[in-house]
Structure 1
Amino acid sequence: MTEDRGPADSPAELLAGARVFSVPMVHRFRGVTVREGVLLPGPAGWGEFAPFRDYSDEQCVPWLRAAIESATVGWPEPRRDRVPVNIIVPVIDPARAADLVAASGCRTAKVKVADPGMELAADLDRVAAVRRALGPTGAIRIDANGAWTVAEAIPAIARLDEAAEGLEYVEQPCRTLAELAELRLRVRPKIAADESIRGAADPAAVRLADAADVAIVKVAPLGGVRAALRIAQGAGVPAVVSSAVDSAVGLTAGIALAAALPELPYACGLGTGVLLADDVCGRPPRPVDGALEVVTRAPDPDRIDEVAAGAEATAYWRDRLRRVALITQALTQGRT
């Protein structure tokens, strides 16, 4: 397969087959209650372009590159046929958190904490409920999305580690790599970097040996499966593949990345399909016994008519796609 094919398609070609979807969320997640995006058809299948609305057009360029890769050239050969995953626990009450974990079949749970306006006591209760649902042998990781300073993170992590009866790791507790490096020396659990990678000016240049123990990589924000694979391999620490709350089409690209990694010591954050109340296809990827089956191309969106966006959202996404495609073409032409 071609390793680094750029998005040669014109904006008109991209728009011609584009389908805009709108899927409600089961729970509010990252401030989002409806997941929207665009599906693009191509010779290798379907690609998904679904950056969040607060992203600038320039920030959306890697998301478009990822969609075009999936649609036009496909993914690298897999090294495994199943990918272990965690269940993701949004900011919900402890009883619902426990029910979600118990129903998932997963042995690892990622719990969102430090949401704006949320007290630490509520996070502690949610984490403790997840531990009870998982039992003593399950793994718990937490994600703070860079909400804490180092001084805030130290006591919060200590209490959450106690509530979890041992955390597997803490994902992005502080905003910067320098803060992560300082914190890593002062807390017991391992530290994982997410936004510090995908938010970097050059994610491929990020080396985590002194700042974090785990690299969180996501296909769309990093520009595609191949780009994310290079970034993961260059980070110098084990990688965990995570989802950007994708539809079934985008989620399978994340599964392809996890399947292509040389080593996969941790469960991946790809069990996010349960956060969607509907999906673009009738049989979206769902974990069985805590793992997802690896597929070689994205599923056909056979329910796209049922989840098609309304007129306002369709106009918004088509215009956004047109703008980002123009920027992407200009950047690609500038490199050649």
Structure 2
Amino acid sequence: MAIPDSSSASGFRPDLSVLLAEARVVSVPMRVKFRGILHREALLIPGPAGWGEFSPFPEYDDAEAVPWLAAALEAAGEGYPEPVRSSVPVNGTVPAVGVDQVEGVLARFGAVPAVKVKVAERGQSVAQDLARVAEVRRLLPNAGIRVDANGGWDVPTAVAALEALAEAGLEYAEQPVPDIAGLRAVRQELARRGIPVLIAADESVRKETDPLRVAREDAADLIVVKVAPLGGVRRALEIVAAAGLPAVVSSALDTSVGIRAGVALAASLPELPYACGLGTLSLMAGDVIEESLLPDGGALAVRNVPVSAELLQRYTAAPERRQWWLDRLARVYGELTGGGMSV
């Protein structure tokens, strides 16, 4: 199956001057440090179908940010496909915090069927990872546990760590090593040793120019898909169908506007075998809608997200940060449209 280019994922292409005039930039405080940040910045775009979120992390270059803008324009201009389910199960997320903080983090998620635990944090040891996962298992003896290394291990470390972590009964390990060849090596070695840990690919899907390569090279048991890095809900659906692997829908630390796109993807997939990583608003101390898209009973309802003018004002980014995002929007829009300002 051919995968559409992210630049054509949405037909909504307003004039750049309109985008710049109507875009809002927010800075939302975090409850805990996540990905090294204490405030999450996002640029929000209004359109005929609602709002879209453009929030590639600051370290991403303009080329990597192009699909994020395509996804935001799809949300604002076209909306989402018809869902096949009215709610989606979600997991809790435990950052690379100390064992003494795990219970407090989990309490903010309420009842969830699964928990994703961050591991391989720079400056931390495998022993700290084991302790964090063990504490999650102690507190939630019946929950599914998956770990996310964000590519932070090499192959020998990943195999050794996952062999030890397997005692907690892992659902899967997400991106234990950074590259596809490494994923395949870890997967093969775990199988050779009889260690029952599935391998999930995240960065090896969303950061690759060919998101299907990980499936073709038999390097993963399942894939983690995020709407923004893949260029929108419709393109992500195409990628999942073409990969032929089970999919977990995850967020990119979004406001409710971005989470809504993830919910739309999860609600549109023909099969949804795993709880999704869409409960990350519990890690944030603010939002841009009055009733945030937070899980209820371990699930998120498929619903609209009316943006609040008052909250947009409350969390408005500092003038210099707003200008930084507007400049970025202009550059990335130029790349998305081939250098022109299409109407």
Instruction: Judge same fold: TM > 0.5, yes or no.
Output: yes
Q: Which runs of 5+ in 1 are unaligned?
A: none
| Contact 1:21/1:36, CA 8 A, preserved across alignment | yes
Please state how far the C-alpha of 1:298 moved relative to its aligned partner.
Answer: 3.7
- Opposite residue 177 of structure 1, the aligned amino acid is I
Equivalent residue for 1:274? Answer: 282
Q: 1:179 aligns with which of 177, 182, 187?
A: 182
- Opposite residue 121 of structure 1, the aligned amino acid is A
Equivalent residue for 1:258? Answer: 266
Equivalent residue for 2:3? Answer: none
Distance 2:185 2:102 in 1: 31
Distance 1:152 1:4 in 2: 39
| Contact 2:151/2:176, CA 8 A, preserved across alignment | yes
Please state how far the C-alpha of 1:9 moved relative to its aligned partner.
Answer: 1.6
Q: 1:204 to 1:12 in 2, by over 3 A?
A: farther
Q: String of CA shifts for 1:41-83, please: whole Å, max 9, x gaps.
A: 0000000001100000111100000000000000000000110
Paired residues, number: 328
Equivalent residue for 1:106? Answer: 112
Q: 2:166 aligns with which of 142, 161, 167?
A: 161
Please state how far the C-alpha of 1:209 moved relative to its aligned partner.
Answer: 6.7
Equivalent residue for 1:195? Answer: 203
1:5 lines up with 2:10 in the alignment: yes
| Contact 2:180/2:214, CA 8 A, preserved across alignment | no
Q: String of CA shifts for 1:78-127, please: whole Å, max 9, x gaps.
A: 00011000001001111221232244211200000000001111111110
- Opposite residue 106 of structure 1, the aligned amino acid is V
1:18 lines up with 2:23 in the alignment: yes
Please state how far the C-alpha of 1:234 moved relative to its aligned partner.
Answer: 1.4
| Contact 2:16/2:341, CA 8 A, preserved across alignment | no
Equivalent residue for 2:307? Answer: 300
Q: String of CA shifts for 1:236-270, please: whole Å, max 9, x gaps.
A: 21000000000010110000000000000000000
Q: 1:333 to 1:17 in 2, by over 3 A?
A: closer
Q: 1:169 to 1:332 in 2, by over 3 A?
A: farther
Distance 1:5 1:21 in 2: 24
Q: 1:160 to 1:204 in 2, by over 3 A?
A: closer
1:235 lines up with 2:243 in the alignment: yes
- Return structure 1 stretches of 4+ with deviation > 4 angstroms: 331-334
| Contact 1:65/1:223, CA 8 A, preserved across alignment | yes
- Opposite residue 182 of structure 2, the aligned amino acid is E
Query: What is the TM-score of this pair, normalised by structure 1?
Result: 0.94
| Contact 2:74/2:232, CA 8 A, preserved across alignment | yes
- Opposite residue 325 of structure 2, the aligned amino acid is W
Q: Within 5 Å, give how 1:1-336 maps onto structure 2.
A: 4-104=9-109, 105-135=111-141, 137-162=142-167, 164=168, 166-187=169-190, 188=195, 189-204=197-212, 206-207=214-215, 210-295=218-303, 297-302=304-309, 303-330=311-338
Give percent identity, aligned residues only. 50
Q: String of CA shifts for 1:264-294, please: whole Å, max 9, x gaps.
A: 0000000100111111112110101100001
Please state how far the C-alpha of 1:208 moved relative to its aligned partner.
Answer: 5.2
| Contact 1:141/1:170, CA 8 A, preserved across alignment | yes
Q: String of CA shifts for 1:191-214, please: whole Å, max 9, x gaps.
A: 000000011112255525711111
- C-alpha root-mean-square deviation of aligned residues, in Å? 1.8
Distance 1:208 1:143 in 2: 22
- Opposite residue 327 of structure 2, the aligned amino acid is D
- Opposite residue 192 of structure 1, the aligned amino acid is A
Q: String of CA shifts for 1:211-235, please: whole Å, max 9, x gaps.
A: 1111000000000111111111111
Query: What is the TM-score of this pair, normalised by structure 2?
Result: 0.92
Distance 1:37 1:65 in 2: 15
Distance 1:167 1:102 in 2: 21
Please state how far the C-alpha of 1:4 moved relative to its aligned partner.
Answer: 4.4
Distance 1:65 1:298 in 2: 19
Distance 2:186 2:103 in 1: 29
Distance 1:47 1:273 in 2: 17
Please state how far the C-alpha of 1:301 moved relative to its aligned partner.
Answer: 3.4
Query: What is the DSSP-based 3-state SS (H/G/I as helix, E as strand, rest coil) of the residue aligned with 2:145?
Result: strand
Please state how far the C-alpha of 1:331 moved relative to its aligned partner.
Answer: 7.1
Structure 1 stretch 179-188 or stretch 139-148: which is displaced more? 179-188
Query: What is the DSSP-based 3-state SS (H/G/I as helix, E as strand, rest coil) of the residue aligned with 1:186?
Result: helix
Please state how far the C-alpha of 1:318 moved relative to its aligned partner.
Answer: 0.8
